Amino acid sequence: MTFVLIGVNHKSAPVEVRERLAIPESRLAEAIARLVQFPGVEEGMILSTCNRVELIAKVSSGTLDLREFLREYFETDTDLLADHLYEYRDQEAMRHIFRVAASLDSMIVGEPQVLGQVKAAYAVACGMGALHSQLHALISRAFAVAKRVRTETAIGSSAVSVASAAVDLATQIFGSLSGKHVYLVGAGKMSELAARHLIAGGAEAIFVANRTHARAVTLAEKFQGTAIRFEELYETADRADIVITSTGSPHAIFRREHGEKFLHRRKNRPMFFIDIAVPRDVDPEMNKVDGIFVYDIDDLQAVVSANVANREREAARAHEIIEAELQRFLARLQTQEVTPTIISLQEHLETIRQAELDRVRGRLGKLTAEQESAIEALTRGIMNKVLHTPVTALKNAAREAEANTVVDHVRRIFNLNPRNLNPKNLDPKDLNSKNTKTRSIPISRPRSEKQEEPAREEEKKVTPS
């Protein structure tokens, strides 16, 4: 097991560095193909998003440096990137993949988009045949870990942006945003973003009013909405259930008397004002009108801050889940690493047993069925006793850091051919499958003296005919 991960993200590198390494979706398959063709890389996957570019590979040597691949593929001097690149190996690489999939390494902790991005990268790598064994198992496990984090924590349940907080508050007021009308007063980026969140939450019609009418028209077209001239604002605002206002006006443009008129026209149906302007567009007195709900930028930021703190608490629980899952996956990989050696050892001793039986049969001549059975039981019993100690040592070592050392010793002692151990195209999960071509020989524990008596009796019956 040797995993290597190298990359940059929003924490390690500014956007001008990330964009130099970004791989567009149209070139991702070609980049992965180049990666798995790189000497020493057995499996590989590339994750390229606006916030990160990461290469993860299963390699044949722990000394392999993927910086050389970056230098060749991007035709860039990796020394210039040295301060921004991070690199993880084996357990640290696995932990990082789990954290990324579970959105613990995201700019906004708990956001769900990154899991979809990892799944998309995984699909491309699978389609290229770049994942087939241990890395395939690692990424698959990362998806299960992310699901468990989502299920067992509330890390993604609270809004952590002003726009998403506005949607949460609107939902609390109206119960459902389905069919609700939104009025944008001002055509700034924040208003547009909030409108997008509201529409994603189920809001229906969009009205836009701006002092420069052309900008109102442009923004309305983005939402297939209606542009309204700014001078018609007070005659039309009551059409909306939700008003998002950000005009840059030095004075409040909505006052208490406006709210009372709007509510009267709406027959007391509630209105929700999201005031993200500084100075404020909505007079605080308007919040005293029953049925009018006003939240300014500080209110929204307070909601965001509280939710961020809540996510941080949930993130601590998520880290515990990841550590537990990491140890389970490590144990599984270590067991898979010793399995090929166990199978090879079994086959090696079985070959010796069969060869010796064939040699002895030539001297003994024709044997009865009872004698054949006795010889089979005797030789298999001896083989199982010989196997018991090294197999037990291998299985115990699989749970410890010394696994590779024990495996190497057993291979040398029994002169096992490394080329037969877990070839590159063999999925470790198949090693215990009944469908593998290698045949597993049953291993029994050493028998007690009483259990060995029947075997001794059988030995006495074996005489030349």
Q: Are 229 and 259 in contact (CB under 8 A)?
A: no
Q: What is the CA angle 319-325-329, rounded to 5? A: 140
Q: Are 383 and 349 in contact (CB under 8 A)?
A: yes
Q: How far is CA 332 from the centre of its chain?
A: 18
Q: Are 28 and 124 in contact (CB under 8 A)?
A: yes
Determine which helix (DSSP H) or strand (DSSP E) holds 40, and give its type and residue range.
none
Q: Tell me the C-alpha distance between 110 and 121, whole Å.
A: 19
Task: Give the other-Cβ count within 10 Å of 423's Cβ.
Answer: 9
Decide if 126 is catalytic.
no
Which letter does DSSP use for residue 418 in this model?
G
HSE of 301 in the Cβ direction (CA atoms, 13 Å)?
6
Question: What's at 174, amino acid-wise?
Answer: F
Distance set, CA 32 to CA 73, 114, 255, 333, 339 (Å):
11, 19, 59, 24, 29
Find residue 254's DSSP bridge partners: 282
From the list 11, 15, 50, 461, the catalytic residue is: 50
Q: Tell me the C-alpha distance between 381 and 388, whole Å.
A: 11
Q: Are 221 and 199 in contact (CB under 8 A)?
A: no
Q: Tell me the C-alpha distance between 32 and 128, whole Å.
A: 8
* Radius of gyration (C-alpha) of the chain in whole angstroms: 34
Determine which helix (DSSP H) or strand (DSSP E) holds 445, and give its type and residue range.
none
Determine which helix (DSSP H) or strand (DSSP E) holds 243, and give its type and residue range.
strand 242-245
Q: DSSP letters of 49-82?
A: -SSEEEEEEEES-TT--THHHHHHHHTS-GGGGT
Q: Residues 6 or more apart from 141 whose CB is under 8 A from it?
A: 98, 325, 329
The set of catalytic residues is 50
